[in-house]
Amino acid sequence: MSIPKSWLGSPALDPSGPWTIPQRWADYTASEHRVWDTLFARQMELLPGRVAGSFLAGVATLGLERPGIPDLERLSERLHRLTGWSVVAVQGLVPDDVFFDHLANRRFVAGRFIRRPDQLDYLEEPDIFHDVFGHVPLLANAAYADYMQAYGQGGQRAVRLGAIDQLARLYWHTVEFGLIREANQLRLFGAGIVSSYSESRYALDDPSPPRIAFDLRRVMRTRYRIDSLQPHYFVIDSFEDLLRQTVDTDFAPLYEQLRDLPELEPTEALSSDRYIDIS
């Protein structure tokens, strides 16, 4: 894997930063490790043939197949060598500006805790399975890694411009629930999908949710549901394309334009939507 130039000269591996806590890896119980193993096995049975190739490549190069909850220090060492990112533990959700600061410095924040055995399928707050299994494999991909850092910088700017809602929708519809086209087939890449047993199937197999070609303005106008399967999915062409489109666009004038347009409800269709066939 080639090294993206953009992070050469970025800070050395730094397992700290604001709001972080020690992972205390040795304190996880056997039953907590078992929850990880169960979730991991379930998803890895489902995902080959459904998920973006880079995701599976990331799982392998980062050594995530090793049983048990990953040790973030060890994981960060590997990841940092590939793309300059590290993974740090936090207590729960962190304030927006703190989250953006971490991303802008190539640190991904992950919850320390893992869901209970009776919560395998649904959980309100992101745990370490969602955060690490769902998000981290793609951080080994150079273009995706650059996108996430640019997103953090864009977030700091959006705070100043009062446009966090619009920017957060971009994150939701790509990083959390995005689909990608690979070799003319639909593949999963959003962390919210790939860490969910039911949505990993639904997002590709179910005929009902429209799959709409990614359009930056459209996505930033589209509100989202956090408590159910998504009513539609947006499809990117590649991580390089997503990176190019977002980095090459100055969002300030865009935020201004979007302020005058109505927000779109999750199920609303636009005549300009371009649908991507699921077969």
Q: Which does 157 bind (CB under 5 to 8 A by kind): Fe ion, ligand PHE, none?
A: ligand PHE
Can you read off the two tokens belonging to residue 68? 């048990």
Residues 138-177 close enough to bind ligand PHE by CB under 6 A: 150-151, 154, 157
Amino acid occupying residue 232: H
Q: Which of 247, 264, 276, 278 binds ligand PHE (CB under 6 A)?
A: 247
Q: Kindly give the residue spans of alpha helices, DSSP state H, lying in 1-141.
A: 30-46, 53-61, 72-83, 96-104, 128
Minimal distance, residue 108 CB to Fe ion, in Å: 10
For residues 219 and 222, what is the distance between their CA atoms, to the nearest angstrom?
5
Task: Give the strands of the sheet with 86-90, arranged side by side.
Answer: 20-21, 86-90, 107-111
Q: Which does 191 bind (CB under 5 to 8 A by kind): ligand PHE, Fe ion, none?
A: Fe ion
Minimal distance, residue 142 CB to ligand PHE, in Å: 15
Nearer to ligand PHE, 70 or 154 (CB): 154
Q: Which does 36 bind (CB under 5 to 8 A by kind): Fe ion, ligand PHE, none?
A: none
Minimal distance, residue 184 CB to Fe ion, in Å: 28
Nearer to Fe ion, 90 or 191 (CB): 191
Can you read off the two tokens belonging to residue 274? 């371009």
- Total residues belonging to the chain: 279
Can you read off the two tokens belonging to residue 215? 């359009």
Q: Which helix (H) or strand (E) holds 187?
A: strand 185-188
Counting contacts by CB under 6 A, is residue 246 touching ligand PHE? yes
Counting contacts by CB under 6 A, is residue 214 touching ligand PHE? no
